[in-house]
């Protein structure tokens, strides 16, 4: 079964590299650079996992996840970040309680490590 992932990162270079690399590891990946566009094209049941940049223009990755979760309550999310911050505390502040603590990915990340981590999240 193909594992479908939606990547949203406001940096086109990052989203394209992640998309290409994860495709090589057997994932089917759609990538967007704009949170609103990603939300408008988000289909229920299409993705097993969201890979969202935490800092996006217009909304955070947490806000985007909440809005997508309202449409599809089965979707899981991981968060990419280039900043060092306390995400679990921020997730609690956003009243998000279903995020796997192992699903915060610090940029830059090796793609083999990311693929392994995402497989573990999806299989667990």
Distance CA 16, CA 68 (A): 21
Which pLDDT tens digit goes with each residue over 17-53? 999 999 999 999 999 999 999 999 999 999 999 999 9
Band of residue 1 on the pLDDT scale cut at 50, 70, 90: low
Which pLDDT tens digit goes with each residue over 101-115? 566 777 788 899 899
Does position 99 have pLDDT exceeding 80, yes or no? no
Residue with tokens 């193909």: 2
- Range 3-123 has CATH code 3.40.50.2300: yes
Does position 78 have pLDDT exceeding 70, yes or no? yes
pTM of the shown model: 0.86
- Cα torsion 59, 10, 106, 82: sign: negative
- Cα torsion 93, 68, 110, 13: sign: negative
The residues spanned by each domain of the chain are 3-123
Q: Which residues contact 27 (CB under 8 A, 6 or more apart)?
A: 2, 3, 4, 5, 115, 118
Mean pLDDT of the chain: 85
């Amino acid at each position: 079964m193909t594992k479908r992932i939606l990547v949203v990162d406001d940096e086109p270079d990052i989203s394209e590299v992640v998309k290409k690399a994860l495709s090589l590891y057997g994932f089917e990946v759609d990538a967007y650079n704009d949170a609103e566009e990603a939300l408008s094209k988000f289909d229920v049941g299409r993705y097993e996992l969201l890979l969202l940049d935490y800092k996006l223009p217009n909304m955070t990755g947490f806000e985007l996840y909440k809005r997508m979760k309202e449409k599809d309550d089965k979707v899981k999310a991981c968060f990419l970040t280039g900043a060092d911050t306390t995400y679990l505390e921020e997730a609690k502040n956003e009243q998000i309680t279903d995020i796997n603590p192992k699903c915060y990915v610090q940029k830059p990340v090796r793609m083999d490590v990311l693929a392994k981590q995402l497989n573990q999240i999806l299989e667990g």
